[in-house]
Structure 1
């Protein structure tokens, strides 16, 4: 038994590849259920706190392969002028417009897009979603950590529904945004909560 155990300890260990679990909902296009969707982001302010804002104008679709979930794809479009900062003194300054125009350069580049290029499973319901983010006219790859929260028939609408959470980060300077860089951080972190209905 000791010899067997010794050989077992020396044998190379091949880790099992993570695989997404097949889903019980049909294949096809799923569209964003906008009343249950949020896209927020945060950025460091003076090394003291993280200023948080959100977009209210965005859309997304999923083309789902429920048998091989990693073959699925995602596309997102965002209106940068829809940014909401909840600045408490709007009569003094339209801070939403400042962020849209000076940080996100929305006047020159009125659309932000994300198109997935690969999805790799890290567990039965988790994965790494990589895609091309086009922001301020610059396109670069960004990877999001995604979690499938549920896939079932919607209990009220009686249609297939998906629920997804995602987080990720990127440097705004990589896309040409240098406004107040230093006092305001470079790294933008996004926090995403989405529901999708079968089209």
Structure 2
């Protein structure tokens, strides 16, 4: 019983701390201006593509980086840069000892062809605010040697001038988007493997000390 009560007490304290943290979030206009870097421990880049119309095959990139030049007075003037390592593609394909499907995706000329194109990059060209916490980021996506414009729907989740535990100025965002992979030269197995690839992005950016 004593252990049960202690567990309940700990859970209550954690919930109270979380609620207090939410209530103490900083309005974006009050955040420090300047460059923010990606908090890689709180970031994910997932994509999904149709598999014969039966299901959506999902995978992720595990190595990517980004910087955000944030203008709190006018968020539309902010700028975002992203780089992705295509060799970091990771799936849940079974029996990797028999077939390293992740390596095949990364290296095959049919797919990411990372030997010839070792980096995927995105650089914003404009930000259009749609509401206080939503907007559209437009930018140039360079992939497999081709550069084309892409738009991402962005949701601003919140900010801390001093984030709990780290004390660093931190911004959090979610983003979604879609690209037609054949437009960048990846047309392998279209249409059995879908041409449209959906992106799901979760990120936090922090401003380094000093």
What is the TM-score when the length of structure 1 is the normalising length?
A: 0.88
What residue in structure 1 maps to residue 32 of structure 2?
A: 26
**Contact 1:30/1:64, CA 8 A, preserved across alignment:** yes
1:22 CA displacement = 5.0
What residue in structure 1 maps to residue 132 of structure 2?
A: 124
* Whole-angstrom CA distance in 1 between matches of 2:106 and 2:190: 15
Question: For residues 102-130 of structure 1, what are the alpha-carbon distances to aligned partners after superposition, in whole Å with 9 as ceiling and x for unaligned?
Answer: 31121110000000000000100100000
Structure 1 runs, 4 residues or longer, greater than 2 Å off: none
**In the comparison of the two structures, how many residue pairs are matched?**
179
* Whole-angstrom CA distance in 2 between matches of 1:155 and 1:24: 17
1:23 CA displacement = 2.0
Q: Does 1:183 align with 2:192?
A: yes
Question: For residues 23-50 of structure 1, what are the alpha-carbon distances to aligned partners after superposition, in whole Å with 9 as ceiling and x for unaligned?
Answer: 2110000000000000000000011000
Question: For residues 114-163 of structure 1, what are the alpha-carbon distances to aligned partners after superposition, in whole Å with 9 as ceiling and x for unaligned?
Answer: 00000000100100000000000100000000011011121111111000
* Whole-angstrom CA distance in 2 between matches of 1:181 and 1:91: 28
Task: Provide the secondary structure at the position in 2 that maps to 1:151.
Answer: strand
**Uncovered stretches (5+) of structure 2, i.e. residues with no partner:** 1-26
Matches of residues 74-113 of structure 1 in structure 2 within 5 Å? 74-102=80-108, 103-113=111-121
What residue in structure 1 maps to residue 143 of structure 2?
A: 135
1:63 CA displacement = 0.1
| More helix, by proportion | 2
Q: Does 1:147 align with 2:173?
A: no
**Uncovered stretches (5+) of structure 1, i.e. residues with no partner:** 1-20
What residue in structure 2 maps to residue 162 of structure 1?
A: 171
Which of 39, 43, 46 lines up with 1:40 in the alignment? 46
1:183 CA displacement = 1.2
What residue in structure 2 maps to residue 70 of structure 1?
A: 76
| More strand, by proportion | 1
- RMSD of aligned alpha carbons: 1.0
1:96 CA displacement = 0.4
* Whole-angstrom CA distance in 2 between matches of 1:133 and 1:65: 22
Greater shift, 169-178 or 85-94, is seen at: 85-94
What residue in structure 1 maps to residue 11 of structure 2?
A: none
* Whole-angstrom CA distance in 1 between matches of 2:103 and 2:201: 22
* Whole-angstrom CA distance in 1 between matches of 2:197 and 2:114: 17
